Amino acid sequence: MMSLPFLLFACGLGATWLRQRGAAMGFWIAGLVVLLVLFRVHMTDVLNIAL
- For binding to other proteins (CB under 8 A), which residues are involved? 1-3, 5-7, 9-10, 12-14, 16-17, 19, 21, 24-25, 28, 31-32, 35-36, 38-39, 41-43, 45-51
**Mind spelling out the 3-state secondary structure of 1-51?**
CCCHHHHHHHHHHHHHHCCCHHHHHHHHHHHHHHHHHHHHHHCCCCCCCCC
Cα(26)–Cα(47) distance, rounded to whole angstroms? Answer: 36
For the CB of residue 7, give the shortest distance to other proteins in the complex, in Å. 5
For the CB of residue 40, give the shortest distance to other proteins in the complex, in Å. 10
For the CB of residue 2, give the shortest distance to other proteins in the complex, in Å. 5
